[in-house]
Amino acid sequence: MSHTFADGPAAELSPETLVVSAGRPPREHDAPVNPPIVLTSTFFGTGAPVPGERGYGRYSNPTWDPFEEALAGLEGADQPALVFSSGLAAVMAALSLVPPGGVVVMPRHSYQGSLLLAAGEAENGRFSIRTVDIADTREVIAQLDGASLLWLESPTNPMLEVAEIAVLADAAHAAGALVVVDNTFATPLVTQPLALGADVVVHSVTKYLAGHSDVVLGATVTSGPDLLARLLRYRSLHGAVAGPFEVWLALRGLRTLALRIERSQATAMELARRLQTLPQVDRVRYPGLPDDPGHTRAAAQMNGFGSILCIEVAGGAAAAEKVTEAVNLWLPATSLGGVESLIERRRRQPGEPHTVPEGLLRLSTGIENLEDLWKDLEQALTR
């Protein structure tokens, strides 16, 4: 299989082009323009296995390659990404890089599953955790002493705090810690963590990359061959491998990522502005708003401000819950990053940190018409 992205022409292409052009089969007469789905659990072989050969379906599958190549190109990596069976499987693979007895510094607001998974590992004595306010750069740096890994999410789920990725990555490296960035919310079109100093990028491909709420998948991208080899070994032995059909769907979804993000970011920005004017909304959290605490940082390190916004509904949990029952177009559901707009009161999830306000609604803006989305929200909030 060809991984031609590192020094080939792909390196000069813009991300809007790469999502369309990366991971295509070789240009041979009558070859398909899309990679095929290869359904096989094993590969012909005789004699002693040669390093790098496919061997068996838990080690590799030809359907993974084009997606892994495309994602690496988007993240600016010069080696393939690794696709996993879910975002959390990728999170677990990244956490496997922590040595026994190590220290993990994590944002107190992060994806709930990552927090619960790390807490479970800590309870089993594998490592210890220090949770921090990731927007407080001084506090984070103070907690890095003796750390083995700094976990970053930016913006954080669901509070949308913005971390100073480059400054924190430098400080973490100086302390001898690896830096992992969960880039699910931003996507590589909005933030490129490797260029800001991260060692590993983690994705829930389930969200924006696949983009249609029809698959569960994850991925890692690494800054160097040693980390890639460690994560590849982890994936091969721990077995959280992706089904070929899901990965094929993810590549199909990736083709429209730039268009989807362009639309959903623009809509999220305008919705944030309008929601600020409603008396039924106590607070709008969106880094694109000039008075948002993360605005200056976000403007410096992001290309746009993302497609997630959060509102705190006046009247708390009950009032917020009513909004999710009153919408007709927005879909009340967990998850995010699909073409359809989703709304969720995050504290309905028992595992959500209690520092997240009861009345906070997370809105994942999709690609529907702005006015239709606004009218639906407005009627649900003002009813």
**Site residues for ligand PLP per CB under 6 A:** 86-88, 91, 111, 113-114, 153, 157, 182, 184-185, 204, 206-207, 216, 218
Instruction: Pick the closer one to ligand PLP by CB: 101 or 120.
Output: 120
**Shortest CB 222 distance to ligand PLP, Å:** 17
| CA 77 – CA 89 distance, rounded (Å) | 20
β-strands 342-345, 360-364 pairing: antiparallel
Closest CA to 292 of 283, 280, 300: 283
**Shortest CB 95 distance to ligand PLP, Å:** 12
| CA 247 – CA 279 distance, rounded (Å) | 44
| CA 312 – CA 281 distance, rounded (Å) | 6
| CA 273 – CA 130 distance, rounded (Å) | 35
| CA 220 – CA 3 distance, rounded (Å) | 16
Instruction: Pick the closer one to ligand PLP by CB: 5 or 111.
Output: 111
| CA 282 – CA 314 distance, rounded (Å) | 5
**Shortest CB 260 distance to ligand PLP, Å:** 16
214 is known as an active-site residue: no
DSSP classification of residue 56: B
**Shortest CB 314 distance to ligand PLP, Å:** 27
Closest CA to 166 of 181, 176, 156: 181
The 10 Å Cβ neighbour count of residue 77 is 25
Closest CA to 201 of 228, 235, 168: 228
Paired tokens of 300: 């410096």
Instruction: Pick the closer one to ligand PLP by CB: 22 or 219.
Output: 219
230 is known as an active-site residue: no
**Shortest CB 279 distance to ligand PLP, Å:** 31
Asked if 215 and 233 touch (Cβ cutoff 8 Å), the reply is no
Specify the DSSP element, H or E, that contains 2. Answer: none
Instruction: Pick the closer one to ligand PLP by CB: 254 or 381.
Output: 254
Instruction: Pick the closer one to ligand PLP by CB: 116 or 259.
Output: 116
Cis check for the bond before 357: say yes or no (omega within 30 of 0): no
372 is known as an active-site residue: no
Taken as a whole, the chain contains a residue count of: 383
Task: Given the residues 65, 182, 199, 292, select the one marked as catalytic.
Answer: 182
Instruction: Pick the closer one to ligand PLP by CB: 127 or 208.
Output: 208
Q: Is 125 left (phi over 0), alpha (psi -120 to 50) or beta?
A: left
Task: Given the residues 24, 54, 56, 58, select the one marked as catalytic.
Answer: 58
Q: Which residue is nearest to ligand PLP (CB)?
A: 87
**Shortest CB 109 distance to ligand PLP, Å:** 11
Task: Given the residues 65, 207, 263, 347, select the one marked as catalytic.
Answer: 207
58 is known as an active-site residue: yes
Paired tokens of 24: 């295509």
Instruction: Pick the closer one to ligand PLP by CB: 113 or 315.
Output: 113
Calculate helix-pair angle for 244-254, 64-75, nearest 10 degrees: 40
**Shortest CB 198 distance to ligand PLP, Å:** 15
Give, in order, the Cα–Cα distances in Å from 238 to each of 120, 202, 232, 259.
Answer: 17, 17, 10, 36
Instruction: Pick the closer one to ligand PLP by CB: 218 or 359.
Output: 218
**39 by DSSP, 3-state: which?**
coil
Return the active site residues.
58, 111, 182, 207
